[in-house]
Amino acid sequence: MLKDKIQHDIDMLPNNHKTKDIDRLIGGYVKQKLDLSELRDYVLSEQQFHRIYFHTMLKQIKSANDRLDFIDKNLLFSDWWHTDELIGLIGNADFTKAYYLASGYINDPDSFIRRWGYVMFVSRLCRDRERLPELFKLFHNDDHYYVQMAQAWLICELAVFFPSDVLMWLPKSELNYEITGKAIQKICDSFRVPSEMKSSFRQLRSVLKT
């Protein structure tokens, strides 16, 4: 049984093994073109399989659009942090397709799926200025901390490329300060946002708090 083989490989790792050790296993499975479909039923109940399943399967898929489809059919994200690492695998996907999927994710009952709906755009997908109005429409108030952090992360990423646009949009966004305040903090902490723009964002705080 393939599950037993993968478990044996994990058990053979040092007791204090790190992510890089798991990645070495994944690299070997990808080279062998191993189909880990049968692990799907175990990834939520046995977390040690989650990263191995996703990364092994996705790295064998050549098209970013096909990777998006795979993720969409495998929304097994509950309490799993490595979803953020999937960003680099879908950055070249079709924006329209990604946006359609994200529009559903951001309203999902699972907070980690909602988080993915924003995090997936912290990639090349957010670098087209003509798409800004659509991306701005994705944002709405969410009371879950980790979703708020994802929203703040995406707002910061947009501010790296389009600071003036984000500066003008934030006061009109109707987002709670729990989100906008986190976004401004990330913007001010970023080395990629010019100092003069950081100053302008700081001045927004008093406006957004009211």
pLDDT along the chain (210 residues), means of 10: 94 92 96 96 90 94 97 83 83 97 96 94 96 98 96 98 97 96 97 95 91
What does the block give as tokens for 9? 């490989």
What is the value of pTM for the model shown? Answer: 0.93
User: What per-residue confidence (pLDDT) applies to 85?
Assistant: 83
Q: Which residue has the tokens 């646009």?
A: 165
Q: What share of the chain is helix, strand, coil (3-state, %, to 5)?
A: 70, 0, 30
User: What per-residue confidence (pLDDT) applies to 82?
Assistant: 67
Distance in angstroms between the alpha carbons of the first and the last residue of the chain = 60
* Positive/negative CA dihedral, 37, 43, 49, 50: positive
User: What per-residue confidence (pLDDT) applies to 140?
Assistant: 97
